Amino acid sequence: MTTPIVIDTDPGVDDAVAIMLALASPEVELKAVTSVFGNVALDATTANAGRLLAFCDRADVPLAAGAARPLVHPQAERAGEVHGWDGLGGRATTLPEPVAPQPQPAVELLASVLRAADQPVTLVPIGPLTNIALLLAVHPELAGRIARIVWMGGSLGAGNTVDTTGGSPPRSAAGLIHQTRVGGAAEFNAHCDPEAAHRVLTQADVPVTMVPLDLTLRCAAGPEWIEALAAGGPRGAALAGVITHYRAAFRARYGVDAVAVHDAVAVLEAVRPGTLTTTPTPMAVACDLGPARGATVGLPEGAGVPVQVALDADTVAVLAEILERLQHLD
């Protein structure tokens, strides 16, 4: 029996790897894709998700657009310098014209998928948690239809966003951070919408697995992996092309010729539950407007609802498994 999943995403180069991994994995049935603002603006993430579905000949997978901004406070920071101005390494228009999104908003597509499914559905958010927080708030009656939430985001160690403690990065008129530097306390997806992350990570109705930066940065695919992907066929070659800009950005930031496939690690856990080793840990999310905004903090046992935090895996095997599946995309 296949596992029904929905991917909520902000493509995003590693989102592209993750979506294509799901489409290459017979253990799961991708019931829908929903988009959210994040790496780039919502119109671009929606179009990119639509292009990826078209590219994989999967126009049958329904797509709907979700939140264009966070729940509470504006957050102007995007990640074009990492993912390319268009979110796909400057290569979005080399992919086919996008599958059109459905008219209903993401939350309603999610609700209809949950209602129609013949078994509980796994949600795999790989961007800011805005759509998922809205779903839980608007449709609490559907919580029992969600098998689990597997979220790529958060960090128990360092983040990958701004460090506002060491200076004064420019702030937008809208109020918040406007520039990316390494060293901030928050991981990007948590930083984009801390209130949404708080809503999802502290509720008790649906089990949550958090796949944090601490682990995904260890899942960095090197030159041989990228070359093998490119040699795997036309789709692998196109995906390797999309990765090019992200690879240069990763090298500039971390000094390593590799690409962390953050979001694909979460999808692999949804495809093969138990791939990642988790530690139950109650989580808190910093929701103040100070320098730690968006930081995810592990609390002592008993201090809250435990989240399954994926802190370990056989990272060599994870990367090999992702590659092997992507090589069979064509």
Contact residues for ligand BDR (CB under 6 A)?
A: 12, 14-15, 39, 79, 82, 126-127, 152, 160, 187-189, 213, 262-263
Among residues 12, 66, 70, 87, which is the contact residue for Ca ion, using CB under 5 A?
Answer: 12
Min dist CB 10 to Ca ion, Å, is 5
Smallest CA-to-CA distance from 153 within 315, 1, 325, 12 is with 12
Q: How many CB atoms lie within 10 A of CB 26?
A: 9
Residue 160's binding partner out of Ca ion, ligand BDR, none, with CB under 5 to 8 Å set by partner kind: ligand BDR
Residue 215's binding partner out of Ca ion, ligand BDR, none, with CB under 5 to 8 Å set by partner kind: none
Min dist CB 18 to Ca ion, Å, is 8
Q: Among 70-78, 122-130, 177-185, 249-257, which window interacts with Ca ion (CB under 5 A)?
A: 122-130
Min dist CB 302 to ligand BDR, Å, is 29
Among residues 4, 62, 127, 294, which is the contact residue for Ca ion, using CB under 5 A?
Answer: 127
Catalytic one of 191, 198, 245, 262? 262
The angle, 0 to 180 degrees and rounded to 10, between the axes of the packed helices 315-326 and 13-23 is 70
Distance of CA 104 to the CA centre of its chain: 22
Q: Report the residue number, 111 or 189, with the smaller CB distance to ligand BDR.
A: 189
Min dist CB 204 to Ca ion, Å, is 26
Q: In 3-state terms, the chain is what percent helix, strand and coil (to 5)?
A: 40, 20, 45
Between CA 270 and CA 94 the distance in angstroms is 29
Respond yes or no: is residue 262 known to be catalytic. Answer: yes
Between CA 85 and CA 246 the distance in angstroms is 11
Q: Which residues contact 197 (CB under 8 A, 6 or more apart)?
A: 128, 129, 133, 153, 154, 189, 190, 285, 294, 296
226: amino acid identity, one letter: I
Residue 213's binding partner out of Ca ion, ligand BDR, none, with CB under 5 to 8 Å set by partner kind: ligand BDR
The site for Ca ion (CB under 5 A) is made up of: 10, 12, 15, 126-127, 263
Which residues are known to be catalytic?
262
